[in-house]
Amino acid sequence: MKQNFSRLMPRKSIILAAGAALSMLSLVAHPDVADARAGGGMSMGSRGSRTYSAPAPSQTAPFGATPFQRTMTPRQQAPAYGARAPFGAGAGMAMARPRHPFMSGFMGGLIGAGLFGMMFGHGMFNSGMGGGGFLGLLIQLALVFFLVRWAIRRFSNRGGGTAGGPVASPFGAAGSAGPQQGGPQNTGVAITSADYQAFQQALINIQTAWSQQNVDAMRHMATPEMVSYFNNQLTELASRGARNVVSDLRFERGDLVESWRENGADYATVAMQYSMIDITTDMTGRVIEGDPSNRTTVTELWTFVRAAGLGTWLLSAIQQTPRR
C-alpha cells in the first residue's frame, strides 16, 4: 500500500505542474488581457511616411513611443526607428538644401556666359584682363566662388523654418479645450482648438464603441486599417467568451507631438494621458480581469488623419509609450 502511494505521488506532482504550466501558457498566449482596452496595449496602425520614424518626445510622453507591432505600411529604405529623417529619404536628401528658383536661373546664366567667353578667348567676364593669363583666370574663378557663396547665403537665409518639425504644444489638463498659451507651434499643419476637442472626443467615442463592440460605429471614427485591428481583437476576445468594458474615461492631459501634410492628407500625432475603469468580463458579466474599483492610467500616442484642410479626423494609429 505504501509502495502504491509513493508511486501515485510523482504522478500527482506531474499533474499539478502541468496544470500550472497550462495556466501560465494561457497568460503568455493572451498578453493583452491586462491591457484589453481598444488597441490592446499594442502599437498598431500607420503614420504615412513617418510610420518608421519615432515621434519626438513631449511633456506628456517624454520617452517617445514604441515601434509599430502591426502596420500595413511597407518598409522601403526606411531609416532606423528613432531617426528623424523622413521615411524613404536617403542621406543625400536629408543633407541637401532646397534650391531657390532665382538662384538656379542666375547661376546657370552666370556660368553659361563665363564658359562661353572662355571658349572664345574673352575670359570669364571679358573684363579686359587679358583672359589668356593663368593668373587672370585664377582671379576670375575666385571672384565667381565668393559671389556664389554670398548669393547662396543671402537667399537661403530668407527661407523660413522647416514644416512638420517636432513640437511640444500641450493642450491642457483635464477639461481644457485648447492648447496652453506660450507653447511652441512649429507645426506643418495648423491645429486649432476645435481640432484638440475633436481628438479628445474621438478618444472617448472610440473607447465607447469598443466597449459596445460596435464595429460599424468605429468605421466612422478610424481608418479601415485600424478598424480591421479592432475587429480582430474583439473577435479574439469573443472566442474566449470574454468582453472588455471601458467606463468612466477621463482625459488627463495631452501634447501635440507633430503635424504634417503629405499626399493630400493632414496628419497629427498627439500624446494623450487618460484614466479609466478597465475590466474584462465573461458573457454573464462576471469580472475575470481588472478591478472595477480602481482606475487605470495610461499614456498613448494617437495619430489622426484627414483630407488636407477639411473633413473629419480619423484615427490612423495608436502607439504605446515605453514602460520605465
**Residues 91-107: tens digit of each pLDDT:** 333 333 444 444 444 44
CA dihedral (220, 39, 35, 174) in degrees, to 10, reads: -60
Give pLDDT, residue 136: 66
Residues 6 or more apart whose CB falls under 8 angstroms from that of 54 comprise 64, 65, 67, 81, 82, 83, 84
Is residue 267 domain-shared with residue 289, that is, in the same domain? yes
Q: Which of 92, 121, 156 is the last residue of a domain?
A: 156
Asked if the structure places residue 10 within a domain, the reply is: no
Instruction: Answer whether residue 16 is part of any domain.
Output: no
Query: What is the count of structural domains for the chain?
Result: 2
Q: Kindly report whether the global pTM for this prediction surpasses the value 0.75.
A: no
Kindly state the cell numbers that stand for 319.
502607439
Q: Find residue 245's DSSP bridge partners.
A: 279
Low-confidence ranges of the chain (pLDDT < 70): 1-36, 77-138, 144, 148-187
Which positions ≥6 away from 266 have C-beta within 8 Å? 189, 259, 260, 305, 306, 307, 308, 309
> Cell 481583437 identifies what position?
233
- Please give the residue range of the domain that contains residue 116: 100-156
Residues 181 and 133 in one domain: no
138 shares its domain with 189:
no
189: its cell numbers: 499643419
Contact of 255 with 270, CB cutoff 8 Å: yes
Alpha helices in the chain (DSSP H): 2-29, 91-95, 101-119, 134-156, 193-211, 215-218, 224-239
Q: Is residue 59 part of a domain?
A: yes
| 303 and 177 inside one domain | yes
DSSP of 115-159, one letter per residue?
HHHHHTTSTTT--SS-SSSHHHHHHHHHHHHHHHHHHHHHHHTTS
